[in-house]
Amino acid sequence: MDKLVAKIDKLTSHAVSNDGSEVTLVFDAKHVGELALLMKTECLDDVLAALNQAKAAIQSKRGEPAPQSKPGVAAAQSKPGEPAAQSKPGEPNNQVTLTVPKNWLVSADLQMHDVVLLIFNHKTDAQSGYALDADTAKKMAVGLVKNGDAVLAHKASRAVAPKPKEPGR
């Protein structure tokens, strides 16, 4: 079966059917004009996952690093879902919005990009993913284990530490 190929210049609109079972995406396509794609809503997660993977692959090929905070900076001034506080021009932004994912997925894309995929909130509206080269993934794994051990040791030390005596007792 031949594939229909059209060069897309931009997304012009989208619509959801009255019963919520279908989504229409309308594109401006070069040499074709307006092109509408009608799909069942069950396909949206797969389409979003594919687009996120493509975006990560593009960023990786361009050498664009994933946004990172400075080491030791973990406190955020804003609540999850709210925009982070803005830094003043010329100052580095040391604030990060933190969210605890409901679930996560680690996989390897060996067929196309040879990267390790790290996806948070898999198959939800808040899904976000990263593509890491193998060396970076291994370094991250070491860092996660080291910091996980540090958190567990800190929790254990707090659990056995004697509580301070109250004044007057």
pLDDT of residue 93: 63
Instruction: Give exposure, 84-108, as e/b (b: 16+ Cβ within 10 Å).
Output: eeeeeeeeeeebbeeeeeeeeeeee
The segments of the chain whose pLDDT lies below 50 read 66-87
Q: Which residues 6+ apart lie within 8 Å of 56 measured at CB?
A: 115, 117, 129, 130, 131
**Which pLDDT belongs to residue 71?**
37
Average pLDDT, rounded, for the chain? 79
